[in-house]
Amino acid sequence: MDHTSQQIIPVEKIESSRINDVDFNNLIFGKEFTDYMFECDFKDGSWHNPIIKPFGPLTISPAAKVFHYGQAVFEGMKAYKDNNGKIWLFRPEDNFHRINKSSKRLAIPAFPKEIFFEGLETMLNLDSEWIKKGFGNSLYIRPFVIATQAGVAASPSDEFKFMILFSPAQEYYKGEVRVVIAEYYSRAANGGVGAAKAAGNYGAQFYPTNLAKEKGFQQVIWTDSNEHKYLEEAGTMNVFFRINDTLLTAPISDRILDGITRKSVIALAERDGVHTEVRKITVSELLEASKNGSLKEIFGAGTAAVISPVSAYSYKDQVFDLPKIETSYANRFKKELMEIQYNLVEDPFGWRYEVK
């Protein structure tokens, strides 16, 4: 993929790296940050002064609209280092388009593509030591936009800050994921912001997810807000079901995030000749499949954990265990995806993007 750029983003250099303070063998997801951060401000109708500087605190007015009205969106993506030390991104244009789609829904101006890619790639080269080689090691990338205009009038901000942070990550073992199927609370509604990566979508899930945790479950599988009849997605993952040998997942709607891992799994399944159906899936269909033994797997798909197999789900306080499968789709698609991400196999889809 050709991705040359003209603009040069200034870099304020660190005095010394913090990398030796970090224990790369015991990383907690999202806790440590690299030496640099990217910042660019929107003012007077355009984005100005992109800069890469040492990671550190911001000074923002306590009246900034992000604090009062949650006008904020974000993205989640990863960089990988192959055995030769080359850095790769996975479908980064999709993340770029998605943050601007999220921004539009939150009345935030679109960010320019050239500045995004130049900022991201320059910073990846500066923080390159933080990306460790080895299957499962990665650098989690968190672009985000916040409304910075000071003022508590409930109207859209006319000033914003676009930032990118990096956090080193290891393979994300969640252990067994047990999920609750939502019967009362909702994550998203028709016409709402579910399809956007709006900060408030996540804050609003913490309380019902805590209720699930109190009962020994880790996540909620959200259902449609009208009837709680259709299975939609999990907190930060799209969800797949395997009934007999058919792979099922819900269609994208304005309640569901158009996950990049989700569409990659669908493409791999189609390539591999796995019968795949993208259609509405009812809770009653799932219960029936559990009872007659045709439900083989449930797994979540998302950037952070790649694929997370579900070991049990609960519905109306009844718990249904998933069988232990030797040749699971979850393991198969996780391996196939990661081999492409780590440049271990050919990439017939053109998903891999080399950072120069």
Applying CB under 6 A, the residues found at the interface with ligand PLP are 76, 197, 233, 236-238, 257, 259-262, 302-303
Please identify, using beta-carbon distances, which residue of 71 and 238 lies nearer to ligand PLP.
Answer: 238
| Structure-derived torsion over alpha carbons of residues 285, 286, 287, 288, reported in degrees to the nearest 10 | 50
CA distance 90 to 109: 25
Closest separation in Å from C-beta 282 to ligand PLP: 20
Q: How far is the CB of 239 from ligand PLP (least distance, A)?
A: 9
| Residue (6 or 210) nearer to ligand PLP, CB | 210
Cα–Cα distances (Å) from 82 to 112, 127, 131, 214, in that order, read 29, 16, 10, 40
Report the residue number, 64 or 188, with the smaller CB distance to ligand PLP: 188
Q: Which is nearer to ligand PLP, 161 or 262 (CB)?
A: 262
Q: Closest distance between ligand PLP and the C-beta of residue 135, in Å?
A: 19
Rounded to a whole number of angstroms, the minimum distance from the CB of residue 45 to ligand PLP is: 30
Q: Which is nearer to ligand PLP, 126 or 304 (CB)?
A: 304
Query: Which residue lies nearer to ligand PLP by CB, 42 or 222?
Result: 222
> Three-class SS string for the chain?
CCCCCCCCCCECCCCCCCHHHCCCCCCCCCCCCCCEEEEEEEECCEEEEEEEEECCCCCCCCCEHHHHHCCEEECCEEEEECCCCCEEEECHHHHHHHHHHHHHHCCCCCCCHHHHHHHHHHHHHHCHHHCCCCCCCEEEEEEEEEECCECCCCCCCCCEEEEEEEEEECCCCCCCEEEEECCCCCCCCCCCCCCCCEHHHHHHHHHHHHHHHHCCCCEEECECCCCCCEECECCCCEEEEEECCEEEECCCCCCCCCCHHHHHHHHHHHHCCCCEEECCCEHHHHHHHHHCCCEEEEEEEECCCEEEEEEEEEECCEEEECCCCCCCHHHHHHHHHHHHHCCCCCCCCCCEEEEC
Contacts of 269 (CB under 8 A, 6+ apart): 247, 276, 329, 333
The span from the CA of 263 to the CA of 244, in Å, is 21
CB nearer to ligand PLP: give 148 or 236.
236
Among residues 48 and 279, whose Cβ is nearest to ligand PLP?
A: 279
Name the minimum Å distance from CB 197 to ligand PLP.
Answer: 6
Choose between 123 and 307: whose C-beta lies nearer to ligand PLP.
307
Q: Which residue number, 135 or 172, has a Cβ lying nearer to ligand PLP?
A: 172
Residue 234 CB, nearest approach to ligand PLP (Å): 7
In whole angstroms, the minimum distance from the beta carbon of 256 to ligand PLP comes to: 7
For the bound state, the minimum distance from the C-beta of residue 347 to ligand PLP, rounded and expressed in Å, comes to: 17
Name the minimum Å distance from CB 93 to ligand PLP: 12
Q: How far is the CB of 231 from ligand PLP (least distance, A)?
A: 13
State how far the Cα of 224 lies from the Cα of 110, in Å rounded to an integer.
29
